Structure 1
Amino acid sequence: MNTKVYILLLILFTFILTGCNSIKTAVTPVIPIKHKYKDGILTSIIEKMNLEDAYSIEFDAHIENMKEHKITLSEYRDQGDIYLAEVELPMEGKWIFSYIISNEKMTWSYSITENIGADEVEYYIVSNISPKIISNNQKVELEIKLMDKFGNILKGEDVKIELSLKNEVVISEGLKDKDGVFNFVHEFNEEGVWRLDVISKVTSESFLIPVGEEARKYLEEGVTKMETQNHDMIH
């Protein structure tokens, strides 16, 4: 091949690669924004793209067709991987939320329309508590997550746990999540049916943890009795 032709083809190929890379880097990343609403309070959650990011956030909101009654919010709390703030809404309905979010490199603008209070959002707690028998003096790591009815994991929440045996509280402490997961390690040093209460701002739930074979049998018999009673009531 002629040397000049080869050089021209190489330059052309390099230009194409450079152009493709430029197109890829030109895509603007999207910042995830979530809202939670309960008892007249809206919680605004802004997820960071990187933990080291520092955002400047401007927020205002108004109900549809009522622009003259704006609500502003500027005090966001840095929670590590998210920014969090609460604001009181005077009424339920279709709200329009406007965001201007900036860091050192760029600025994002978002307008979000959302029906607030139209459907009550349900939350629930999931745990890795296993039906397998826990042995006496066994150390177990428990994982707890807060989720909404759409399967989204809630981040930036605090929970309180109470672990009790025979109606006596053995441990009571607050936990903070790590990427939406609460971790708790405990060595179960006595056989019996332990109770774990998980309490958060949005919901609460209790879990029964059998330690030892007798505790497992006791729980299974209790469930069987309940199922039999329910069957008799239906029929």
Structure 2
Amino acid sequence: MKWAVVVFPGSNCDEDAAQAVRETTGDTVDLVWHDATDLSQYDAIILPGGFSYGDYLRSGAIARFSPAVEAVRREVAEGKLVLGICNGFQVLTESHLLPGALLRNNHLQFRCEMVELIVDNNTSPFTRAYQLGERIQIPIAHGEGRFHADPETVADLRNEGRIAFRYAHSPNGSVADIAGILGQGGNVLGLMPHPERAIFDWMGSVDGRRLFQSMHQYVEEGLAHARANA
């Protein structure tokens, strides 16, 4: 299995994400510059945290026009797994690959702390290693992490099982305490907390490991099935 971590000007969690994948799965990971136009060689793609293009206009608003995001759009249509972490989640909403928007935290403060999440869906390619309703510890680091969507969209997310993670105690005022959501096809996850910062005991939690391992297992099973039927 081969992963890509897309690097925008202003990304600062790209190396963290790549190292997390290597440490948890042993897979090959490439850092791919934002001008890449073809990501078809990769089985999974990560849009990392940071401040893409300086977060001018709105967080993720400029990154949506990059060649790499257009390439991501094509891979999403092909069923590839795409994980957007923090700023990557913002890029996915700005690109309309996920619904809703990420707004300023309701207290107007930047928060960097460990938070408790509740696993709301454990059947997705990203969450299959967790237990439904399990409470896990994952850190946040954001000033614009408040998920917002209209009531109809939130109802759809609930009814379709597309709320992947909720905050046990929301640190930012997100509607319905939403911390992470899935795309309609189930192969895109946007998550404000940082699982790549929860893979070793010394980080304060290892609960992020299973997210990357879930993705690895899902893709490897698909590749094995394809080989068996070739």
Q: Which structure shows the bigger proportion of residues in strand conformation? A: 1
TM-score (structure 1 length as normaliser) = 0.24
Question: Bigger radius of gyration, 1 or 2?
Answer: 1
TM-score (structure 2 length as normaliser) = 0.24
Q: Which structure shows the bigger proportion of residues in helix conformation? A: 2
> Which one scores higher on RCO, CA 8 angstroms, separation ≥ 6?
2
